[in-house]
Chains A and B, each alone.
Chain A
Amino acid sequence: MKTPSQFWTLFRFHVFASPWIWVMPLALSIQGFVGLNRYYGDLSMVFLLFGQQMWVPLVIAAWILLPEFFMSSMWMTAQTQQQAQAFGGEFLLTRAVDRENVFRCRGALYWTIICVTVAVWVIAAAFKPDITLQLNSQGGGAAKVSYYLDHIPGSFVEKTTDGGTTIKAPTGNIQIRVLMSVLMVVMSGVWLVFLPLISRLPQRKWIHWSIFILGIVALPLLSLRVRASLEPLLVFGLAHLPAMVVLAIGILLAAERFAETRLAKLEFM
């Protein structure tokens, strides 16, 4: 079978192998419609929202690319192990397929899920594209007003009836969602690199699980702590959005290539 034809056969297999794989991105997509244009006068709230979601691609990546992670763990219920078996490497890698093609196909499925999710975020933002930052309620001073105006494209100041100051950005929500999408793609790329690295550790499952759980728990907690200091990064991103999108695409391609090459060398003993 020719490689492109083999790829699509494998891709179709992966798409329908387990409906459960579509639950998490569905949940993430729904979140795109709920309350994501409320930043309460503080843009660093974006990091708070993002911090709660950034571990999800790790679970999706592990589920699709390395289901063996879940299949032989005593921490997992028999049902979970059975679901993970849907993507089991041993079955596929002993059929008439090219090893690299299997992992390229899994990478494609992973990125399809991530990209569909972030596309839903951006599309959802189009229904309520503007944002209003009520700086007075958060004690934002003149310097912060000026800072936001300089960096958020299209933003302007509006006085409220009670004499307070708000900053309005007519397409601010879309811009923020695009930036969140960039962050999600970058984070997904980081996980895609992280997974083959921990999978090559010596055969001690607890090390894998410890690092895995640390990734899921520690990073969201860290994002809670450091979100305020990350605000300049966010504002910088908003000011350079096209460059950020190009960067994300570059990271996607590089991470995919890295993971594909590394995972293809993995043993399934």
Chain B
Amino acid sequence: MNENAITIRDVTRSYGKTPVLDRLDLTVKAGSIYGFLGRNGSGKTTTIKLLAGLGRPETGEISVLGRDPWAFTAEDRQGVGYLSEKQNLPPLMKVKSLLDFCSRLYPQWDRELCEGLIARFQVPVNKRVSALSMGNQRLVGVILALAPRPAVVLLDEPAANLDPVARREFLDEILDLIRDGDRTVFFSTHILSDVERVADEVGILAQGKLRVSESLDSLKETVKRVRFFGFPGNAPERPPQAFGWRVRDGEALGTLKLAHPGEPAALAANWKCQYEIIDLSLEDIFVDIARN
């Protein structure tokens, strides 16, 4: 397997005249769980749809398991599981028939895993999809994405509409899946605690560009809120490495991406002021990056 399961290079995509992705670059290592974050409309779903081969980028290249998703054959698709944000399952089919239909398409379909997930999530298989609650429909989608044991799983807002118990079960399942082999999970979500729980790496998308993409530990290590105070004159302008910068009452509060731990000290020395470093949670980091 390639070192990177997913590679996106210089990808641009728009809807009509509205740009969505702006020269996006992203790589996901094989065997990792990648949490993809961004505000509504930031381009997460568009990215995942491009990775699933539902569309083509206007510029740039996309590769999933070394292949262009737009040119995926049935065999290529056996290696990629996908859960859509809108969950467009055939509404009139019974869950059982739907699972049976999908199992015929995948030679590697894991019946044991499928039955285990049905039991674990308590999905009523004899009901029509349209008769299921939104949460259960979501779980059927999750089962359809995981049961073929694909090498790459693309999940768009997988935990939406799930109750806390089902969400926990689902996250455990994702972890099991990863432990089981060299599999890659790429998922978008607004639930940051889920990302903190399972993701190895985090990417934050804002205005169609990937603002950060690194491991959770590294992100927390390198993105800090720094309070600069005691300036001899006016507070300085926003430095280039700041995601956010607010000046009030002679103090400057910035969220900085630090190239090295000594950077706040160097800035403070340059501005002849004092500073204080404040650790941030993932939510604080996300909000600061996405808002600014």
Which residues of A come within 8 Å of B, CB atoms?
1, 6, 9, 12-13, 16-19, 71, 82-83, 85-88, 90-91, 93-99, 101, 202-204, 267-269
Contact = CB atoms under 8 A, between A and B. Distances in A.
A1 B107 contact: yes
B89 interface: yes
Contacts of A85: 88-91
Given A1-B104, A88-B90, A269-B15, A96 B75 contact: yes
A86 B148 contact: no
Interface string B63-91: 00000000011110110101010101111
B102 interface: yes
A19 B92 contact: yes
Contact of A269 (B54, B73, B78, B101): B54
Contacts of B92: 17-19, 83, 86
13 contacts: A1-B105, A1-B106, A17-B93, A83-B91, A90-B84, A91-B84, A91-B88, A94-B52, A95-B77, A96-B105, A97-B74, A97-B77, A99-B72
B84 A269 contact: no
Nearest to B130: A82
A267 B78 contact: no
Interface of B: 15-16, 46, 49, 52-56, 72-75, 77-78, 80, 82, 84, 86, 88-93, 97, 101-102, 104-107, 130, 148
Would you call the interface of chain A mostly helix, strand, loop, or mixed?
helix
A268 B49 contact: yes
A237 B97 CA distance: 46
B107 A90 contact: no
Contacts of A101: 74
Nearest to B71: A99
A269 B89 CA distance: 16
B53 A94 contact: yes
Interface of B is mostly: loop
Nearest to A93: B54
A202 B14 CA distance: 12
Nearest to B154: A94
Contacts of B88: 71, 85, 88, 90-91
B71 to A, nearest CB: 9
A94 B55 CA distance: 11
Given A1-B74, A18-B92, A90-B88, 6 more contacts: A17-B93, A96-B75, A96-B78, A97-B74, A99-B72, A268-B55
A13 B103 CA distance: 13
B156 to A, nearest CB: 11
Contact of A86 (B73, B75, B78, B90): B90
A68 B97 CA distance: 23
A52 to B, nearest CB: 29
A269 B90 contact: no
A268 B54 contact: yes
Given A93-B54, A268-B54, A98 B93 contact: no
Contacts of A88: 88, 90
Contacts of A13: 90, 101
Contacts of A202: 16
Contacts of A96: 74-75, 77-78, 105-106, 148
Contacts of B104: 1, 9
